[in-house]
Amino acid sequence: MSAPWPYFPIFVRLSGEPVLVVGGGEVALRKVRLLRRAGADVRLVAKSVLDELKPLRVAEAFDPAQLAGCRMAIAATDDPALNRRVAAEAEARGVWVNAVDDPQASRWITPAIVDRSPLLIALSSAGAAPVLVRRWRERLETMLPSGYGRLLSYIGERRAAIRERVPQAMRRRIWEAFLDGPAPEAVLAGDEAAADAVLELLLTDTSGDGEVYLVGAGPGDPDLLTLRAVRLMQQCDVVLHDALVSPAIMELVRRDAERLYVGKKRDKHTLPQQDINGALVRLAREGKRVLRLKGGDPFVFGRGGEEIAELAAAGIPFQVVPGITAANGCAAYAGIPLTHRDYAQACIFVTGHPKKDGSLDLHWDQLARRGQTVVIYMGLNTLPDVCARLIDNGLPADWPAAVVEEGTSARQCVVTGTLASLPQAVRSAAVEGASLVIVGEVVRLREQLAWFKNKA
């Protein structure tokens, strides 16, 4: 679960609302300017005030009665004790209060603001790292053109008309296509007629089907997602996700997208594969942008080929976004290179998932060879059989092997041993989560290269 937020980010309408500010110096002035940009009815209390603030002064000394009817309050004096008193009195009356430089006494805090009205971007570190927040504000200031507000105004002025012409499911797609094309630059250059022409073309596009995004979510760490994956995750209408997609990655999916869990675990299939294929076709034909989110890479033991074959047969547009497969991600985070000039000149990926009769139908004579690394997906429950079969086919009992559980995540656990000792070592370590088996001499390098364990 994600860490709890210290504050809930909101934007508050203050036009015409009374706000009490206690303090008359530079800090109070900065707060008052922001409040007046929002149209607040500022009432100032201070004995000594800057000239710009004098017209707002209603009293020289703070009295709790001054909080009556106020929506918010700000304590911005250079006296911490007075600020605390103002905060306590405001809290007692249910008035939201900000005590400057005192988060513990504050119900709300003022963020760093990037102003491209009507676009407002608020940044906050909950007081933990104001320098970092200032850096990000500076970066955003350079990224957003000064006239960016014109683009928002243009869209806002046309939303009502488009709402009447286009079903809700299609509106987001039209606006995203609009923003991804030449129209925004036309608006910023003052040529709204050219932007209107682009928008009209988008509105008259009558193609009914949606699209399917087959996206690899990688082994678990959200930082390993591709940029394209994140972009598509943010624009989908519905997501079908499996058991290996971590909660941290699901947090990056568009918040109002419909979520359908279709995960598969051993002997526990939420939906048969054919039903998943049918759901992808059905949802796309409803005009939706469907995200099929898979752990690892969709084409490495992910049945991605089966799913897009069904889409192709149905004439549904689709695109595939590769992900870092578990073998690459988990091995790297475990400090085990899959190939090495001295130990492994080849690498083989196989599945340890048994057939219905419980047997493993693998080419054991090819797997039990020196000079290569064998990576076994879904091999935790068949590990004793795998190790025994490799020994029976010619590898020594002391051949290095490892199991990586929950690879790339904060819960990562790596158990190393030999073909003879690894099954018992895994049982002793109570390994139960999603795991990857790595067999080969490269496992010897882990002790030297285990960077992620040391970093964690």
Nearest to 242 by CA among 210, 276, 212, 211: 276
Q: 297: annotated binding-site residue?
A: yes
| Distance separating alpha carbons of residues 212 and 393, to the nearest angstrom | 44
| Distance separating alpha carbons of residues 228 and 245, to the nearest angstrom | 17
Q: 295: annotated binding-site residue?
A: yes
Catalytic site includes residue 264? yes
How far apart, in Å, do the first and last CA atoms of the chain sit?
18
Rounded to 10 degrees, the C-alpha dihedral 130/132/138/141 comes to: -90
Q: 27: annotated binding-site residue?
A: yes
Q: Select which of 242, 268, 288, 356 is catalytic.
A: 242
Q: Select which of 102, 115, 264, 453 is catalytic.
A: 264
List C-alpha distances in Å: 287 to 180, 232, 314. 19, 16, 14
Q: 54: annotated binding-site residue?
A: no
Pair 433, 411: CB distance under 8 Å: yes
Q: Name the residue with tokens 């001295």.
A: 342
Q: 182: annotated binding-site residue?
A: no
| Distance separating alpha carbons of residues 314 and 321, to the nearest angstrom | 20
Q: What's the Rg (C-alpha) of the chain?
A: 30
List C-alpha distances in Å: 356 to 274, 330, 353, 360, 361. 18, 28, 9, 10, 11
- Active site residues per annotation: 242, 264
Residues in the annotated binding site for NAD(+): 26-27, 47-48
Residues in the annotated binding site: 26-27, 47-48, 219, 295-297, 300, 325-326, 378, 407
Residues in the annotated binding site for S-adenosyl-L-methionine: 219, 295-297, 300, 325-326, 378, 407
